């Protein structure tokens, strides 16, 4: 029997006031009309706690787009879960923040696109940076554990030193620097976002220097797995540590797992979290080692990386049961090498828009360079429209 999931990742909504070009939400975003009710989320939190889960990550989209966020935090905390809010900060003001603190929120992760306003707004697809800085100040004055998330990629990596100094001034307890992961919208913009090898190597040195300097702030750094010899232990192994519930109630072993055809994802409206975790076919499909092909099946690293990411295997090779193609032992590694070769031999070939679909996004009033923005594949609803929620 599998041990309980350590954390429940609750995607409360796919609505978001931003539309980042690296967003890992699925291309088929869930509409507001499909979202779970407050009561169903509360039941899910109680079931998670009974199962032995310790944390809930309240995420999205933008969880602040849910007007019931404070009662949801209260319910999760009352169930005994450690509560972490992952947010862009847009929609957070002093009053709302104090109601979340009073409800028992433990930790907040606030994401930034850059240190430089116009670049940050271009990546986010809207004007958001200045509001985020103001929100960071509010958070730093509360009792909350505070992490600043920095998403890095080809367009901002050369400014990493400056971006870390910017984050430091926001007074967080922790800085998480994570390279874009190539799912969802990020995969569409992959060749514009993937850094060169020189950039990655320099960024490692920059982070090492920052760790030396910032003794009081913990820094976590996630490098792009395309450049690694072995894959990341994605989600800590399929259905091994984490459980995701999407805005409509579908339970998934990974936020991107919906791309894998042939899997039936159960809904928390119909099945208990315990049954889904222990019995459902989708959670059992890639759990453990029985599904593994060679070279994973006999590889000594299989208990460390669990064969890598099933979603990445499907997105790159078309076979979700293949060894993660970023692995240097994978028979599909040449597909990754081909992408890296394009990026590194001809950096301009990977310039903005090379993988963007024409016409994607509903680009209207913009406060930075219009032409530049129109070349990204910005996040939209399935009808190709950017729906900005009221906050």
Q: How far apart are the first and last CA of the chain?
A: 43
Q: Give min distance, CB of 209 to ligand SF4, in A.
A: 28
Phi then psi for residue 252, to 5 deg, are -130, 150
CA dihedral 248, 251, 254, 256 (to 10 degrees): -30
CA–CA gap between residue 155 and residue 195 (Å, rounded): 8
| Under 8 Å between Cβ of 146 and 110 | yes
Looking at beta carbons only, is 295 or 353 nearer to ligand SF4?
Answer: 295
DSSP label of 56: E
Structure tokens that stand for 384 in this block: 């190709």
Structure tokens that stand for 200 in this block: 């990655």
CA distances to 135, 166, 357 from 171, in Å = 12, 10, 39
Nearest CA to 69 out of 93, 49, 33 is that of 93
Structure tokens that stand for 71 in this block: 């009662």
Phi then psi for residue 131, to 5 deg, are -65, -35
Looking at beta carbons only, is 19 or 30 nearer to ligand SF4?
Answer: 19
Q: Give min distance, CB of 348 to ligand SF4, in A.
A: 26
CA–CA gap between residue 254 and residue 277 (Å, rounded): 12
| Under 8 Å between Cβ of 114 and 88 | no
Where along the sequence are the contacts to ligand SF4 (CB under 6 A)? 16, 18-20, 23, 25, 60-62, 88, 230-231, 295-296, 299, 301-302, 305, 307-308, 323-324, 327, 329, 379
């Amino acid at each position: 029997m599998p041990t309980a999931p350590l954390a429940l990742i609750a995607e409360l909504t796919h609505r978001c006031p931003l539309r980042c070009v690296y967003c890992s939400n699925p291309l088929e975003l869930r509409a507001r009309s499909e979202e779970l009710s407050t009561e169903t989320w509360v039941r899910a939190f109680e079931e998670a706690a009974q199962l032995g889960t310790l944390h809930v990550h309240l995420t999205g989209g933008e969880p602040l787009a849910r007007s019931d966020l404070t009662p949801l935090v209260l319910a999760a905390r009352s169930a005994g879960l450690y509560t972490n809010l992952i947010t862009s900060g847009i929609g957070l003001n002093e009053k709302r923040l104090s109601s979340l603190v009073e409800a028992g929120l433990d930790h907040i992760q606030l994401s930034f696109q850059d240190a430089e306003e116009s670049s940050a707004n271009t990546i986010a697809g809207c004007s958001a940076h200045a509001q985020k800085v103001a929100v960071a100040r509010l958070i730093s004055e509360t009792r909350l554990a505070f992490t600043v998330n920095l998403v890095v990629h080809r367009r901002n990596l050369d400014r990493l030193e400056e971006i870390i100094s910017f984050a430091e001034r926001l007074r967080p307890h922790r800085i998480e620097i994570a390279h874009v992961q190539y799912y969802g919208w990020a995969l569409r913009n992959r060749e514009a976002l993937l850094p060169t090898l020189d950039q990655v190597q320099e960024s490692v040195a920059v982070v090492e220097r920052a760790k030396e300097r910032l003794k009081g702030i913990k820094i976590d750094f996630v490098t792009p797995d395309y450049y690694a010899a072995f894959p990341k232990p994605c989600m800590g192994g399929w259905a091994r540590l984490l459980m995701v519930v999407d805005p409509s109630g579908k339970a998934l072993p990974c936020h991107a797992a919906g791309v894998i055809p042939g899997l039936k994802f159960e809904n928390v409206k119909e099945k208990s979290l315990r049954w889904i975790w222990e019995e459902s076919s989708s959670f059992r499909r890639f759990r453990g080692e029985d599904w593994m092909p060679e070279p994973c099946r006999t590889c000594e690293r299989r208990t460390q990386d669990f064969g890598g990411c099933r979603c990445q295997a499907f997105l790159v090779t078309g076979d979700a049961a293949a060894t993660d193609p970023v692995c240097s032992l994978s028979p599909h590694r040449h597909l990754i090498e081909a992408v890296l070769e394009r990026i590194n031999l001809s950096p301009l070939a990977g310039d903005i828009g090379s993988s963007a679909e024409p016409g994607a996004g509903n680009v209207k009033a913009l406060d930075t360079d219009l032409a530049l923005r129109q070349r990204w594949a910005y996040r939209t609803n399935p009808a190709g429209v950017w729906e900005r929620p009221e906050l």
